[in-house]
Structure 1
Amino acid sequence: MYAELEAMGLVSGEQGRGTFVRDIAVPAGHVVDQQAVATDAVDGDLDSLLRYQPHRGLPQDRASIARHLRRRGITTSADRILIVNGAQQGLAITVMAALNAGDVVAVDALTYPGFKVLAHALQLDLEPVPTTTDGPNLDALEKLCATRPVRAIYTMPTLHNPLGWVMPARDRTRLIKIARQHGALIIEDAAYAYLAEDPPPPLAATAPDITVYVSGLSKSVATGLRVGFVVAPPSAVPSLERAIRVTTGNTPALTTAIACRWLDDGTVDHLEAQKRDDAKARQSLARQELAGLPLISHPSSYFTWLTLPDDARADRLTAALARRHISVATAEPFTTSTHTPQAIRLALGSTDLDRLRSTLRTVRQVAVEDAST
């Protein structure tokens, strides 16, 4: 379980000191007046915000999210939006509402560990789809759907975790065609989509009738802002609402009010732009310090994938880095196939640039030394 949490970016460890919760906070230089935030959000109506709320959120809050989603390329009504406690809960209620134990779900051969945990808990049958340089192998996906009763396709078309790809428009069109032909639901995870500039339209924009879109503000604003959102076909909304009711009841209204105030006044857009610039600087630094090593990443993501030589062992490299107080994830938590590649995921956030530079130099030194042994 620790390895899965670490791979998800939720914890980090230092030898001799223990395990720590990781935080990609509001970018440096952006000062938040906490009292002003609370006062503005409450707006004289604290009593109502401390009461039970509609399970899927207040209409005015869902309308704020709908306006935000238009800037992401999704035009939707507030009636199709459900507010949740972060994107992870959004994924959880989606699989709870739409799938049953034993259902077959197509996933990338390397995918987000949090979805693997959900699938295991709900006894879903994950079928790995081989990956290419810019998305899943759609020939393999089509063959899988023709030979097995695939109920859903879980995908991260815009900034994949851990490989950082952005799926081209033509592949999105074909994936939707495959899903329609075989009656599969598309679960679109857009947790990191805010980092990609000018990506193709989300799958939910092109195929809203068969796609559940899941995202949130924990990655793009701050990890403590546990506000996520789900956009679903109208027919799926009642079952998703029931899943919210039996898990958390509703997302806390005070937290949601703060989030929606920031959505409406431009704060979220500003923070997301800052984070894109920050991620670009960190990726540039990683490319500089790890030049010559086989890296896979997006130019503006907070992580990079380092593939190792065939005779290398990721666990050995991870242990060597841990002795230098550097915590990285192997491919194991991300792997859904029987073959686990020898690779490590490097998280580039949660530290200042000077420390990141020195850490990357150590990673390079240890990786080169390990390859020569």
Structure 2
Amino acid sequence: MSYQQVAAELAASIRSGQVPPGTRLPTHRDLARERGIAVGTATRVYAELARLGLTVGEPGRGTYVREPAGYDGPEPSRALPVPRVADLSFNQPLAAQQAGDLRRALRGLAAAGDIEALLRQEPPGGRRADRAAVARYLLGRGVDTAPANVLLTGGTQAALDTVLGAVTRPGDVLAVDALTYPGIRLLAAAHGLRLAPIPVTAAGPDLGALPRRTPVRAVYAIPTVHNPLGWVLGRRERARIVEFARARDCLIVEDGTYAFLEPSAPPPLQALAPERTCYVAGTSKNVAAGLRFGFAVLPDTHTAAAVRRLRTTTWGSPPLVTALATGWLSDGTVTRLEQTRRADAAARQRIARTALHGLDTIAHPGAYTVWLHLQPHQRMEHAAALLAGEGILVSTADAFATGPYRPRALRLALANPPLDELGAILHRLRVTLDTIAP
């Protein structure tokens, strides 16, 4: 029996769920004995399963079935009719060394003098020492704030929820880009907010297009590495947002989730208008999506309300997660991972530019996303369905649209596929789109 046959049989068992994620597979020697093959052939079997993204080998611990790549949520739209080839709908960047980072960090926590402290309840928003660690880290992003103005949360989405709960009331108007992060739509609906879409241009949001009679309570902005359009607003465009907020006497909610990907960006909005800007970010993209650690920086006038919001909802970040995250912020691990992410994202963009050359795309050269405009005869729902039939999951533009206009486009998230497979996946995507006849 060849290694391809054995690998195909094991791959089918894994994909069908017969062998669930987390299962420890036989050693190379045991697999060789079970299948009647040479140990060298067994090694090639496991190399092939790893190449397919189905297993992960850990020195000294064995080979394990890995969780499926990408976010597998309960939504029917995420159930593909064939085995998944790639999830281009959701970014979960990881680096090869992060499993080792986690083990070392957990061993360090286990050896700490007062590990019992991780089982105690912390103040809503976190302890001062942990908030100070985040404040020190944020200095590198141009956000200069006191620890008292930093609140720790269970992820960036939780930080946004906390801010909106503290600074808005049902019926308030939230100005948002006409194409923006989908999570803000969900939060606005949950808080009973009305959305005022801001037309987008090549240079950024056109705030002047909002009628002066619109009573805007807050502006949600992603000035650095925008999701999904990738822009990095210049100083003039940032100043216009601040001028708008001061003229309308409204707040700014600045999302810095992807800001680490552009270290040379102009100062954040929070630095330009700290008295009316709430800055949110987290570790989902620069460290790991599963860490669920976020933070919000609020002006003095709204910090107490945000603490009350946390007290009635999630309370903040769990102590164990906080200890991991702030430890990595303080010892330089996050800085190192951000450098790795920037190099990785730039490499993926180079691959995407080659694979998608000639198509109508928008992307920052160091971002993890590509905005792909389809041709007039290509409907985005049809395109997404065809790609799903090929095992490729993508996001359609309607997920990002906040107004009635739905551009004919797809958002491609580049972070999940193995780097050496990304070009082939994007080529497959392009070939599939080419099958859509005019």
Under a length normalisation based on structure 1, what TM-score does the superposition of the two structures give? 0.93
**Aligned match of 2:380:** 314
Equivalent in 238, 243, 253 of residue 309 of structure 2:
243
Equivalent in 256, 276, 280 of residue 190 of structure 1:
256
SS in 2 for 1:83: strand
User: Is the aligned partner of 1:336 residue 2:405?
Assistant: no
User: What value does the CA root-mean-square deviation take over the aligned residues?
Assistant: 1.9
User: Is the aligned partner of 1:213 residue 2:282?
Assistant: no
**Aligned match of 1:68:** 137
The Cα of 1:312 is off from its aligned counterpart by 2.2
**Aligned match of 1:168:** 234
The Cα of 1:326 is off from its aligned counterpart by 0.6
- How is 1:1-373 mapped onto 2 (pairs within 5 angstroms)? 11=73, 13-16=79-82, 24-30=92-98, 32-41=100-109, 43-140=112-209, 143-144=210-211, 146-370=212-436, 372-373=437-438
Q: Kindly provide the amino acid, as one letter, of the partner of residue 96 in structure 1.
A: G
Is the 2:90–2:413 Cα contact (8 Å) retained in structure 1?
no
The Cα of 1:101 is off from its aligned counterpart by 1.1
Identical residues among aligned pairs (%): 42
Instruction: Give the count of matched residue pairs.
Output: 362
Query: Cα–Cα, structure 1 residues 23 and 280, in superposed 2: closer, same or farther, change >3 Å?
Result: closer
Query: Cα–Cα, structure 1 residues 187 and 248, in superposed 2: closer, same or farther, change >3 Å?
Result: same
SS in 1 for 2:148: helix
- The CA distance in 1 between the partners of 2:295 and 2:102, in whole Å, is 24
SS in 2 for 1:275: helix
Offset from partner CA, 1:250-297 (integer Å, 9 cap, x none): 311111111111111110000011001000000100000010001101
> Bigger relative contact order, structure 1 or 2, given CA contacts below 8 A and separation 6+?
1
- The CA distance in 1 between the partners of 2:335 and 2:189, in whole Å, is 35
SS in 2 for 1:147: coil
Farther off after superposition, 170-179 or 302-311: 302-311
SS in 1 for 2:289: coil
The Cα of 1:14 is off from its aligned counterpart by 3.0
**Aligned match of 2:31:** none
- The CA distance in 1 between the partners of 2:283 and 2:214, in whole Å, is 35
**Aligned match of 2:63:** none
The Cα of 1:339 is off from its aligned counterpart by 1.2
- The CA distance in 2 between the partners of 1:158 and 1:67, in whole Å, is 20
SS in 1 for 2:393: coil
Query: Cα–Cα, structure 1 residues 34 and 174, in superposed 2: closer, same or farther, change >3 Å?
Result: closer
Query: Cα–Cα, structure 1 residues 342 and 86, in superposed 2: closer, same or farther, change >3 Å?
Result: same
- The CA distance in 2 between the partners of 1:22 and 1:246, in whole Å, is 30
Is the 1:13–1:327 Cα contact (8 Å) retained in structure 2?
no
Query: Cα–Cα, structure 1 residues 29 and 207, in superposed 2: closer, same or farther, change >3 Å?
Result: same
Is the 2:83–2:391 Cα contact (8 Å) retained in structure 1?
no
- The CA distance in 2 between the partners of 1:181 and 1:41, in whole Å, is 49
Is the 1:10–1:23 Cα contact (8 Å) retained in structure 2?
no
Offset from partner CA, 1:27-85 (integer Å, 9 cap, x none): 12455244431242452211112101010111111111011000001111101100000
Q: Kindly provide the amino acid, as one letter, of the partner of residue 311 in structure 1.
A: H
Is the 2:82–2:390 Cα contact (8 Å) retained in structure 1?
no
Q: Kindly provide the amino acid, as one letter, of the partner of residue 137 in structure 1.
A: D
Offset from partner CA, 1:146-202 (integer Å, 9 cap, x none): 121110101101111110101111111111011011111100011111111300100
Under a length normalisation based on structure 2, what TM-score does the superposition of the two structures give? 0.79
Is the 2:93–2:415 Cα contact (8 Å) retained in structure 1?
no
